[in-house]
Amino acid sequence: MAALSLFLDVPLTREAHELLYAYMEDPSPDKVYLDCRGCRIDTGEAWVCPTVLRTLQLVAGDPTQDYEQLPVCGLPEFTRAATELAIGRESQAILENRVRILQPVGAPLKARGSGVRDAIKADATVDIPGLGMGFSSILAFWCRLYLAGGVQTVGVTGALRIGAEFLRRWHCQHTPGPARVYIAVHQLDFFQGIFHDAGFVDICPYLYWDLERLDVALEDFLEVLESSPEGSIILLHGPEGTGLTPRQWEEVAQVMERKHLFPFFDIPGQGLASGDLNKDAWALRHFVARGFELFCAQSFSRIFGLYDEPVGNLTVVARDNVALTRVRSQLEKVAAALWGSPTCFSARVIATVLNNPALRSKWKQSLRAMAEKIMLIRAKLKEKLRILGTPGSWEHITTQLGTHSFMGLLPVQVAYLMKHKHVYLHTDGQVSMCSINSHNMDYVAQSIHEAVVATMLGLSQHPEHCKGQ
């Protein structure tokens, strides 16, 4: 008799992609999946910025590139450009003139002058009146990073994971256990696993979107912040697409500052909400300007179209350069245990685009065009629902920004869509606007119309009575 497997009692789980599995197993030719993570072109295929495609070929064919392993903290040109993209090139956290010079493992500092070498050996703090003036560009780079610095990660999930690991070990050490973590309820399923696996046990949901009023739930959000324990970690996912105005973000920042709450930003699509990279980063930069210490996980998959080459960046903003040096050393330790060294190719592509003015300009144009396309999809869907006479107001479709949108559908309406129309979306009615195109727009609009009418008439079990209503 053959021995039984040691893993016989391991349960089967499909929680991570339950919606996708259901869609893939559906034999209907009309099925539509409304939870695509990346940007799409009208055929439904993944969008890749044309500038990025050309840069991919350029980097791949560069005979001067070597294949040496990157340092644990990643490609310096990438982390610098990514950090500047997030908090702004002119951010005070970057332009601080008093810096701590740190040489990461595996990245030799090519600077001339015994004074610089002596400062590095002594781990000293030096004054630089004019940042980068009289120093090599490499040295200027390291100087500019301290008060704010980045760590290259394996996708945005990697950035969230090493950030969570660090906070569990070193944040709020005076408390008996890890700090409480607050995550937006519609992102709880995904982010809760990351923080739970990092050792957090007290994880609470919060709402910033009122599913009944179909508007920002600022009062509810502020109430949660006011009642949270001091030192709690607040995960702020996709601030560019929350719908909060700058004035409302100021209110959020005031409460978090007074309560000593730690902001952990997660930016999956900077530039895809308004089409303006700076405007989409306003909330993060406001927190930096107020003097917060914070983490920010950045994703580049959507905005560059590098879905199969995931690369992320964890931007760290600290109160002073000494604290930042220590934080990055601990993050480096965590990253070394998780993946040793991050991948190089996609980081080089992104760094090439961001650091070349001509390529960066063309990339920004493509990004704005994609953002405008998403806005147009929103407008067309709203108009089709109006023409169909779908009950209710659908203004919230165009007042929201970004790649995702709350449709204002009830769970019973979502269930109707999946069961009777083979349209797959989350139970909270959130959809990826990039999943809608000219080929399925009419079907999606008609399906939503039928779901709403069926619910109102109590005919969810008899869909044939809803057509043409």
What residue segments make up the domains of the chain, in order of their start? Answer: 15-48+364-466, 76-107+115-355
96 pLDDT band, cuts 50/70/90, is low
pLDDT value at residue 24: 94
- The pLDDT tens digits for 180-218 are 999 999 888 889 999 999 999 999 999 988 888 888 899
What average pLDDT score do residues 245-260 get? 96
pLDDT value at residue 174: 64
pLDDT value at residue 418: 96
Name the residue among 418, 307, 433 with its Cα closest to residue 377: 433
What average pLDDT score do residues 444-465 get? 78
Q: How many CA atoms lie within 13 A of 244 on its CB side?
A: 27
321 pLDDT band, cuts 50/70/90, is confident
pLDDT value at residue 361: 96
Close Cβ partners of 253 (under 8 Å, ≥ 6 residues apart): 286, 287, 290, 292
125 pLDDT band, cuts 50/70/90, is very low
pLDDT value at residue 242: 84
Checking if the pLDDT of 51 tops 90, the result is yes
pLDDT value at residue 94: 63
95 pLDDT band, cuts 50/70/90, is low
Checking if the pLDDT of 89 tops 90, the result is no
Q: How far apart are CA 218 and CA 228, in angstroms?
A: 15
pLDDT value at residue 452: 95
pLDDT value at residue 444: 97
pLDDT value at residue 186: 87
CB-based contact 126:101 (threshold 8 Å): yes
Q: How far apart are CA 60 and CA 111, in angstroms?
A: 29
Q: Which CATH architecture fits 76-107+115-355?
A: 3-Layer(aba) Sandwich (3.40)
**What are the two backbone dihedrals, phi and then psi, of residue 99, each rounded to the nearest 5 degrees?**
-130, 160
Name the residue among 429, 15, 434, 455 with its Cα closest to residue 185: 429
320 pLDDT band, cuts 50/70/90, is confident
pLDDT value at residue 1: 63
**Where is 215: in which H helix or E strand?**
strand 215-216
What share of residues in the chain are helix, strand, coil (percent, to 5)? 50, 15, 40
What average pLDDT score do residues 76-84 get? 94
Q: What is the mean pLDDT of the chain?
A: 85
67 pLDDT band, cuts 50/70/90, is confident
**What are the two backbone dihedrals, phi and then psi, of residue 215, each rounded to the nearest 5 degrees?**
-155, 170
- Give yes or no on whether 15-48+364-466 and 76-107+115-355 have one common fold: no
- 415 vs 110: which has the higher pLDDT: 415
pLDDT value at residue 319: 86
| Entry pTM | 0.85
pLDDT value at residue 135: 33
Q: How far apart are CA 273 and CA 209, in angstroms?
A: 17
Q: Which of 48-52, 57-61, 144-148, 381-385 has the lowest mean pLDDT?
A: 144-148
What average pLDDT score do residues 316-322 get? 88
Checking if the pLDDT of 233 tops 90, the result is yes
Checking if the pLDDT of 257 tops 70, the result is yes
CATH code, residues 15-48+364-466: 3.90.1150.10
Number of H helices and E strands in the chain, helices first, is 19, 15
Checking if the pLDDT of 459 tops 80, the result is no
Checking if the pLDDT of 120 tops 50, the result is no
Q: How many CA atoms lie within 13 A of 374 on its CB side?
A: 30
Share of the chain above pLDDT 70, in %: 84
